[in-house]
Chain A
């Protein structure tokens, strides 16, 4: 017994089980709270991503009284600047954004994929017809400090603004005036992280566009209900 594998490793095995249970408990207890934090951050970013308003610190989001899917957005001064509706999209969520007047100004979708170190999560702002990118925001990343984490800088995120979605985004070292095209200048020293972000954006848009076509077709049919987002 003493020399058997179990005799050697029983402590490691039992500790693993205990610690595994402990971690599962912590995750069960704190997971919803962390998700809520992420959701609040998403809501904080949505107006900027569809250029609903310029960045104002301290913007507040108030969920509507009737539940989770409609949210009203206020700016720092307390003025009502828009609405957001969460539309379920194959287990994911697409955020449909309206301005205060009720005009549909755009979509915000989520994208995720592997980066250089770990999973990267993005928010992507699109025009109402999803033909143009309005903004990009890195929600979560664990890229190399001081190199890859440059993808979180506003400077890099701003490079996605106004790119078309009809062509794929490509990463280049330097964008020249002669070939601005659909090129994204990489973060210096972080080509892999930059390419990962572009890949995630391309994939998210590729998946979203056909869904949007179906959604638009469904919307065009004579509506037999007042809230089409519920279908």
Chain B
């Protein structure tokens, strides 16, 4: 089993860019669209997802030999739901206003496909070290994707970044639409296009190098 599948380092690196959950796998679209209106919300969401993903991957990997094929999804969901509830309570206790702003999107992490996908693809088949590296890599990839979208939306939509004024009021007419739902779709679409274009360029170069 030890030699099966990618190594921890490969898992870690893959999660960040080559298999980025948002730009490559197109998973986790709900939080990607919903909580990227500003950086604070996006980073809180990323941290919550990272916590849940790391815990769920570790537990799943530890019990991987006990899983019954037809009950595995149930166990993944049970594990994920537990840690999501913990994350939700911790946010409500220590960052109450942010927890209110994120509202239903914290409980909705339970149905975030990225996490169940990592349990299925990696943690239920590989050792805890690999599962941990995988979860950290994927979490970083998710955080990076959310940060890229939230940066564009917050700077263009409100002229601020993490609440700090970036574009001076007066000469920048804040594009209100960017912090509203349409802004999320426009930004995600544009960034996905760029990501695909870069991917094609690199693919072309690699093909040229191979020839």
Q: Give chain A's interface residues, CB within 8 Å of chain B.
A: 8-9, 11-12, 15-16, 19, 22-23, 26-27, 30, 33-34, 37, 41, 117, 141-142, 145-146, 149
Question: Judging by beta carbons under 8 Å apart, are B89 and A11 in contact?
Answer: no
**Smallest CB-CB separation from A10: which chain B residue?**
B66
B90-130 at interface with A (beta carbon < 8 Å): 90, 92-94, 96, 103-105, 107
Question: Judging by beta carbons under 8 Å apart, are B74 and A12 in contact?
Answer: yes
A and B contact pairs by CB, cutoff 8 A, 9 listed = A11-B71, A16-B78, A19-B79, A22-B86, A30-B92, A34-B89, A34-B96, A41-B96, A145-B103
Question: Judging by beta carbons under 8 Å apart, are A149 and B103 in contact?
Answer: yes
Q: Which residues of A contact B14 (CB under 8 A)?
A: none
B67, B96, B181 — most chain A CB neighbours (10 Å): B96
Question: Judging by beta carbons under 8 Å apart, are A37 and B92 in contact?
Answer: yes
A36 CB to nearest chain B CB (Å): 9
A22 CB to nearest chain B CB (Å): 6
Question: Judging by beta carbons under 8 Å apart, are A142 and B82 in contact?
Answer: no
Q: Which residues of A contact B181 (CB under 8 A)?
A: 146
Q: Which residues of B contact A23 (CB under 8 A)?
A: 82, 85-86
Q: Which residues of B contact A41 (CB under 8 A)?
A: 96
Whether, in the assembled complex, B75 has its beta carbon less than 8 Å from a beta carbon of chain A, the answer is yes
A167 CB to nearest chain B CB (Å): 32
Q: Which 3 A-B pairs have the closest CB atoms?
A: A37-B96, A19-B82, A33-B93
**Smallest CB-CB separation from B90: which chain A residue?**
A30
B179 CB to nearest chain A CB (Å): 13
A191 to B79, CA, bound (A): 36
A3 CB to nearest chain B CB (Å): 11
A175 CB to nearest chain B CB (Å): 26
A12 to B34, CA, bound (A): 33
Whether, in the assembled complex, B26 has its beta carbon less than 8 Å from a beta carbon of chain A, the answer is no
**Smallest CB-CB separation from B107: which chain A residue?**
A142
Please report whether the interface of chain B is mostly helix, strand, loop or mixed according to DSSP. Answer: helix
Whether, in the assembled complex, B29 has its beta carbon less than 8 Å from a beta carbon of chain A, the answer is no
Q: Which residues of A contact B74 (CB under 8 A)?
A: 12
Instruction: Say which residue of B66, B85, B94, B105 sits within 8 Å of A145 (CB atoms).
Output: B105
Q: Which residues of A contact B79 (CB under 8 A)?
A: 15, 19
Question: Judging by beta carbons under 8 Å apart, are A8 and B103 in contact?
Answer: no
Q: Which residues of B contact A149 (CB under 8 A)?
A: 103
**Smallest CB-CB separation from A141: which chain B residue?**
B103
B52 CB to nearest chain A CB (Å): 13
Q: Which residues of B contact A142 (CB under 8 A)?
A: 103-104, 107
A214 to B90, CA, bound (A): 41
A34 to B97, CA, bound (A): 11
Instruction: Say which residue of A22, A33, A145 sits within 8 Å of B82 (CB atoms).
Output: A22
Whether, in the assembled complex, B190 has its beta carbon less than 8 Å from a beta carbon of chain A, the answer is no
Q: Contacts A8-B68, A145-B34 known; A30 to B103 CB distance under 8 Å? A: no
Q: Contacts A23-B85, A26-B86, A146-B181 known; A15 to B93 CB distance under 8 Å? A: no
Question: Judging by beta carbons under 8 Å apart, are A12 and B89 in contact?
Answer: no
B108 CB to nearest chain A CB (Å): 9
Whether, in the assembled complex, B9 has its beta carbon less than 8 Å from a beta carbon of chain A, the answer is no
Q: Which residues of B contact A12 (CB under 8 A)?
A: 71, 74-75, 78
Whether, in the assembled complex, B63 has its beta carbon less than 8 Å from a beta carbon of chain A, the answer is yes
A8, A16, A27, A30 — most chain B CB neighbours (10 Å): A30
Q: Contacts A23-B86, A142-B107, A145-B103 known; A8 to B71 CB distance under 8 Å? A: yes
